[in-house]
Structure 1
Amino acid sequence: MILKKSCFYQKIITAFLIVFFMLLLTNCSKKVYTPTVVKRVAVKKTTNTEIKKRNAPATEREFRAVWIASVANINWPSKRGLSTEEQQKEAIELLDLLHQNNFNTVILQVRPQADAMYKSDLEPWSYYLTGTQGKAPSPYYDPLEFWIYEAHKRGLELHAWLNPYRAHHTAGGEITEASIVHKNPKLVAKLETGFWWLDPGNKKTQEHSYKIVMDIVQRYNVDGIHFDDYFYPYPSYNNNKDFPDDKSWKNYLNSGGQLKRDDWRRDNVNTFIEKVYTNIKKAKPSVKFGISPFGFWRPNYPASVTAGFDQYSELYADAKLWLNKGWIDYLTPQLYWPINRTDVSFPVLLNWWNQENTHKRHLWPGMSIGRIKGDEGIDEVINQIMITKGMLSKSPGAVHWSIAPLIESPKLMEAIANGPYKKQALVPGSPWLHNSKPEKPTLAYAFKNDSLFINWSSKNSDKVANWVVRYKYNNKWDYSIHGRFTNSHKLPLTLNDSKKVLKAIAISVIDKFGNESLFEEIPIAKVSTRIKD
């Protein structure tokens, strides 16, 4: 059958529509399908609410993300110097694993040490790709571009994860002439353990890191920009000595600065965070900005945290302020402790952050899924996921550190995929960014033997993130979520030895802000009209 929104001039265009639809069907798969039944139908227009009254499912919404680290070749690529084919093969295997188990987001580290896992005119190619900083993959390809395409093909979001201030890692190989350590030594400080760090107090450092972010936002179709907990370095990186920023501190004082040194350092980071957020929204509002700070703000916040690391005074990271000000779209505090640890309990910390979420941004905690081994560890992960579903019911989600335990423990992956992630889920929308519904897609369908073939399209395909295909067998609705490049779906007319019969379908489009279009319930009834040769 052929479905068209308007029935005007049907007699004139019938032949054209039949030929057009037959061409569309050639894209359903590699095999060319010739429809045996074609017929126009009138469709009753309905709203989302009306369909839900008929028990059409609301698609699950949940942020299901994993970190994929490139620094020190932790996750990808598995080692330096792999061929282009090997790098791409590993990437596809990781993406397939996530897609097949109903995850929906990848947070990929693309700037591990003032370098680039992508083509950049601002920083050199990463050592972790080829084993030589500044050397491009061979045969040439752009890894970030590849990851984005393959993620979107599977309906996954891709967030680019950057370290804004780390200039060189101890596992980062030789410092070459391409490194910022050599090219702009005034911006960096050497730490006693071998790290090199960009000085956040230097305005040129802030401008350089800002340009890196905006270059990615403007040139790549990323869904998010992500920072982790490395702002000023952990004290242990400099043998617990103070960060060596005397020169930038004196310049600040000489310019008339009035802040105390700790407050000045925090202000350097705060100013950078606000600038990044503000300008991402100006350039490309659909790109989410997220940060994953240390798990608690300060000791005694909440009261159960009586001791421990103080990110506020040691990393100069005021994550509470960023959340209170709404300078982020999602916060991912690294809650890497178990539920039953009384001083840093996972749900207690999550609740504290949730109370600070005055702008109602997304709060998607980071979970360490590999620290506890065996069945006890699996139980802990499942329970933590369920806590986020309960406490953050309007926008549930979590980010898993890292993808490695999911690979190494098929039992863990199976427990997640058959438990809390059993059904596919869309990423929750971000209504503070944009909340208008996209236009409904247009669609056509036809019968072939015992199946229904559906094709759809949108006038604004560049703004599409996902498609949702809903289908009703007997009186029960279900759905499947597709990536932006998919435009067809095959449904059997009957299930379970003909006991369940396909009764209706509905197609909707999800835009890059997470907004869903209205959709129409389309009754399905197999007809006998056939195309004549």
Structure 2
Amino acid sequence: MTKTYQKYLPLCAALSLLLPAQPGGAQTPTLLAPARTGASAAQEMRGLWVVRDSLTSPASIRHVVLLAKSHGFNALFVQVRGRGDAFYQSSLEPRAEELAGQPVSFDPLAEALRQGHAAGLQIHAWMNTCYVWGAGRRPASALHVVNQHPGWLARDAHNHYLLKSGPECEGAFLTPANLDARRHIHDVFLDVARRYDVDGIHFDYVRYPNAGYDYSESALSRFRAEREPQVSPGERAALARRAAHDRLAWPHAYPAQWQEFRRRQVTEMVGEISQDIKAIKPWVIVSAAVFADSKDALNSRGQDWKTWLGRGYLDAVVPMAYGASTPQVAAQIADAVACARAAGRYAYAGIGSWHIPVRSTVAKIAAARTLGAQGAVLFSYGGITRDGTSDAYLNAVAARCFRGAASLPTMAWVTPHPASQEAAAERVRPGG
């Protein structure tokens, strides 16, 4: 265990004392009072990530909303762009193959908004950003970006991309170093923000697969074009000779600059999308699910989420602190909270509840509250409800963590939704 994690052992030990022993060694946690900045005890994000396979019919969406609302959750992050496809009506990307059995008039995002808003839930459009395929075979639609624009895909050092998810790479990714690919991603995000009354846009997979990407021709040629004016004629000639038999000559010659270039492509894309969303709908909350280990995110994935917070590109960051170890998760949440607080933004703890017992989820929610996070988002609805067939896990979390209702944390820097402004004006009218 690293010294960073050891630092949080006393906190976790203190939290464990709040868990009275039960028969058989089980423990029922008492609810900790939140110690957070910028949110009162009655304000807290209580979110669920809802993977797209739970959004395939009006009935399944109705069940998601019912379970979330009845168990004290106040926000849903619904996955409407999973693999370069659409769980909504789109002219830019093909309809998701999972919806083949539904009438073309069925719009999962519109249905989630209709039912979720009626229940008083906030609905965030969860959109996988760079990740566009991982099924092994090619997409069925000829219009899918993988089929139409293979030149937009991130490549490894051998100039290959993957169509099948594996342990080191989830599949095919668009590269933000290709400006056409970046524009496409931008347009997809803006299309959703413009046409749907979403409460938020939620980035996911906004990164490279790993440190071995991206060596696409787009990335290599743009990096070379940036570096050439900054090197001497002799160095340029030597690199030209080397590049004749080594396509990675320039990244190998300037590794630090190459890493900065990789990160910058992702950061610029996030900034462009965020700023343009705010330009058309300043009330839409922009958030991102990110690798909780900020060093790994930065160095391996090109995911510089601390800079995104510092520049105001994100209203909230959700570190995917999915580990089973509560001290490790606490250290990761503390890192995100400190960064968000310095930027005047929020951090929500992303908890991997699908693979840990209830007690562990409860301990992590308690740790997040104590550390000053503005709430938590659990991954995922399908995993912890066995695809909607059991509410036992949700019952336990609600009983131990969500005993009273909570409104969502107020974001003073975000323009209120026009509907909420109208409602406030209505309340203060004479005779109202």
C-alpha distance after superposition, 1:256-312 (max 9, x if no partner): 6768221111110011111112111111011000011111101xxxxxxxxxxx221
Q: Secondary structure at the match of 1:140?
A: coil
Q: Secondary structure at the match of 2:354?
A: coil
Q: Secondary structure at the match of 1:273?
A: helix
Equivalent residue letter for 1:403: Y
From 198, 217, 220, the equivalent of 2:193 is: 217
Greater relative contact order (Cα < 8 A, sep 6+)? 2
Question: In the TM superposition, what is the alpha-carbon distance from 1:65 to its structure 2 partner?
Answer: 0.6
Partner of 1:378: 358
Question: In the TM superposition, what is the alpha-carbon distance from 1:519 to its structure 2 partner?
Answer: 11
C-alpha distance after superposition, 1:353-404 (max 9, x if no partner): 22222122111010011212xxxx2111112222222322xx6210100002
Partner of 2:221: 250
Q: Secondary structure at the match of 2:46?
A: strand
User: What is the CA RMSD across the aligned residues, in angstroms?
Assistant: 2.8
Equivalent residue letter for 1:365: A
Do the aligned partners of 1:112 and 1:162 also contact (CA within 8 Å) in 2?
yes
Distance 1:228 1:128 in 2: 20
Q: Does 1:330 align with 2:316?
A: yes
Partner of 1:204: 180
Question: In the TM superposition, what is the alpha-carbon distance from 1:340 to its structure 2 partner?
Answer: 4.2
**TM-score, scaled to structure 2:** 0.74
From 282, 290, 294, the equivalent of 1:293 is: 290
Partner of 2:407: 426
Equivalent residue letter for 2:61: A
Q: Does 1:355 align with 2:338?
A: yes
Question: In the TM superposition, what is the alpha-carbon distance from 1:157 to its structure 2 partner?
Answer: 0.7
Partner of 1:42: none
Alignment of 1:134-533 (within 5 A): 137-138=102-103, 140-170=105-135, 174-189=139-154, 191-192=161-162, 194=164, 195-234=171-210, 241-254=212-225, 260-298=257-295, 310-341=296-327, 345-357=328-340, 358-372=342-356, 377-392=357-372, 396-408=374-386, 410-434=391-415, 462-463=419-420
Q: Is the alpha carbon distance of 1:329 and 1:171 closer, same or farther for their aligned partners in structure 2, counting shifts above 3 Å?
A: farther
Distance 1:323 1:159 in 2: 19
Question: In the TM superposition, what is the alpha-carbon distance from 1:230 to its structure 2 partner?
Answer: 4.3
**TM-score, scaled to structure 1:** 0.61
Do the aligned partners of 1:416 and 1:422 also contact (CA within 8 Å) in 2?
no
Distance 1:122 1:204 in 2: 13
Distance 1:231 1:175 in 2: 25
Q: Does 1:65 align with 2:36?
A: no
Equivalent residue letter for 1:161: W
Q: Secondary structure at the match of 2:208?
A: coil
Question: In the TM superposition, what is the alpha-carbon distance from 1:113 to its structure 2 partner?
Answer: 1.4
Q: Which has the larger radius of gyration?
A: 1
Do the aligned partners of 1:229 and 1:294 also contact (CA within 8 Å) in 2?
no
Question: In the TM superposition, what is the alpha-carbon distance from 1:414 to its structure 2 partner?
Answer: 1.4
Partner of 2:66: 96
Segments of structure 2 that go 5 or more residues without pairing to the other structure are 1-39, 155-159, 165-170, 231-253
Q: Is the alpha carbon distance of 1:396 and 1:407 closer, same or farther for their aligned partners in structure 2, counting shifts above 3 Å?
A: same
The structure with the greater share of residues assigned to strand is 1
Equivalent residue letter for 2:222: N
Question: In the TM superposition, what is the alpha-carbon distance from 1:217 to its structure 2 partner?
Answer: 0.7
Partner of 1:46: none
Q: Secondary structure at the match of 1:290?
A: strand
The structure with the greater share of residues assigned to helix is 2
Do the aligned partners of 1:127 and 1:172 also contact (CA within 8 Å) in 2?
no
Q: Secondary structure at the match of 2:61?
A: helix
Equivalent residue letter for 1:398: A
Q: Is the alpha carbon distance of 1:404 and 1:191 closer, same or farther for their aligned partners in structure 2, counting shifts above 3 Å?
A: same
Partner of 2:238: none
Distance 1:89 1:293 in 2: 31
C-alpha distance after superposition, 1:169-205 (max 9, x if no partner): 2267644312112223332245246332212111111
Q: Secondary structure at the match of 1:417?
A: helix
Distance 1:114 1:464 in 2: 35
